[in-house]
Amino acid sequence: MQDKLRILEDLNMLYIRQIALSLQGTDIQKKIDHEIRMREGACKLLAACTQRQQALEVAKSLLVCNGRILAYMAELQRMKEAQVMQRVARRPSEAGPAGGRLPCRGRVCVSDLRIPLMWKDTEYFKHKGDLHRCAVFCLLQLGAEIYDTEMVLVDRTLTDICFESPVLFSEAGPDFELKVELYSAGLEEDSALGSTPKKLASRLSSSLGRSSGRRARAALEGGGPGSPISNGGSSPWLLPAPSVPGPKFQLLACTTLHLAHVQDTFRTHDLVVADNEDGSFWLPLYGSVCCRLAAQPNCMVHQGMCGFLKVQGEQQSWARLFCLLRGPHLLCYWHPKEAEAQAEPALTIAVNKETRIRAVEKGPKDRLPSMSVTNRCGGQEVTHTLLAETRAETQRWMEAFGQHFFDMSQWRHCCDQLMRVERPSPRRPAALLAKQGSLYHEMALCGSVGPPSNCEGLLLQDNAVSAEIRALLSSYYSDR
């Protein structure tokens, strides 16, 4: 069975590589190659791990790699479809809305992610029952972009699962679907026993007696149910689970956020929680997730058009100004250097959803058309007249205004005011999980190898494997 699973994995990877090679020279092909190499390395490291923290981190990275490969495959499919559509001559009746315009992209940021827990009174206040621990993390996907949060150790002493680091998506459209998935792996005593080193197994066999010791050592070293934590792979990804032992992360809860959920404040959203309460990965979730979801369309931060215009205000006098269309304003400066220095503009004209702009043809044929910009201020209409230097410039300005209004209509309330988007800090390999508090985990069998401070309970250090895992994870985080 294991050989069949390995063959299936190899065939899947070969198929994915062949599809990626059909679009050589694209960035997506390089990303797929990178994730496939990361996946192969993670599978090898997962089989060599002797420490629970190492195995958890590698299993987490493996799950993220699978998700990214499938996301890139979906992106490849969309690129293939776009290539086919370009070869087919489209009829005028098939043209999209607004003359085939596409809305601008934008950045979407999730920060202050918190998931409340609902422990029983006897568990939280009276500390009764078994001490149930899980390692959890969140996987966030928007299109082909997939990011993971840090891993958190959860037990009944916590009331919320908190992920402090913000997650930023830089290529979102107004129709985005942001999937938030919470994964959990149970940290049970038998799971830790599965990765106990052979040195400990030998000590246990000699201290328990000849017959009992043989049975204990066989249970610790064998491949039965007491062997290292299985990676059965109930993950939603379509790639087969790697045929190596390791921690098993299960999907605990999920939700999907859209543009309507964006608000520049801390909000609560509903979670779809798994019903499997008997699993070791299960946690008593309250059924909601709290976070700040902010969006920053490119039309709010990038200039849409710039150039010199003659501007006529309420005083009916003309002034030649350098104008810059950005966000909900047309910023007018005396000189381009003032715009580069982000100085105070000489005039600011509102360009928002309520603004009306139209081209005005008047006078003889050699007269250039002007542009009328009308806003309502204090119950009265205020009109500014703009005059470009050439007819072609006027056309370009009208196209820029049309695209700007289309972008604002698609991004809706995100264009009312500029939202603050946080930049994520550089990712670092996670610190070791806290000691588990039981007598088993607090035992130290260091012998004469080194001082007690160099040991981590029964999870003995394997310096060669630890260095390789640190190098893999360091490369993994630095490439993100």
> Does residue 89 carry a pLDDT above 60?
no
How far apart CA 414 and CA 364 sit, in angstroms, is 43
- Between the alpha carbon of residue 158 and those of residues 114, 118, 119, 139, 200, the distances in Å are 12, 10, 9, 21, 32
> Does residue 238 carry a pLDDT above 80?
no
The 10s digit of each residue's pLDDT in 393-436 is 999 999 999 999 999 999 999 999 999 999 887 765 555 444 43
How far apart CA 42 and CA 326 sit, in angstroms, is 46
The 10s digit of each residue's pLDDT in 433-473 is 444 333 333 333 334 444 433 333 333 334 444 555 556 55
pLDDT for 127 equals 58
The lowest-confidence range among 49-58, 91-100, 127-136, 322-331 is 91-100
For residues 301-321, give the mean pLDDT: 90
For residues 368-376, give the mean pLDDT: 91
User: First and final CA of the chain: distance in angstroms?
Assistant: 35
Burial 156-170 (b: 16+ CB within 10 A, else e): beeeebebebbbbbe
Burial 237-250 (b: 16+ CB within 10 A, else e): bebebbbbbbbbbb
CB 184 within 8 A of CB 252: yes
Q: Which residues pair with 356 in a beta bridge?
A: 374
Structure-token pair, residue 43: 């599978």
pLDDT for 377 equals 87
Q: Which residues pair with 319 in a beta bridge?
A: 311
> Does residue 364 carry a pLDDT above 80?
no
CB 68 within 8 A of CB 237: no
pLDDT for 416 equals 92
pLDDT for 337 equals 94
The 10s digit of each residue's pLDDT in 263-276 is 989 999 999 998 77
The 10s digit of each residue's pLDDT in 68-85 is 998 988 888 888 787 777
pLDDT for 448 equals 40
pLDDT for 299 equals 95
Q: Which residue has the tokens 């709010």?
A: 300
pLDDT for 453 equals 39
Q: pLDDT category, 167, cuts 50, 70, 90?
A: very high
pLDDT for 17 equals 62
- Between the alpha carbon of residue 324 and those of residues 94, 232, 332, 427, the distances in Å are 34, 57, 6, 37
Angle, helices 27-48 vs 2-21, to 10°: value is 160
pLDDT for 434 equals 43
Residue 276 phi/psi, 5-degree rounding, is -80, 85
How far apart CA 194 and CA 373 sit, in angstroms, is 73
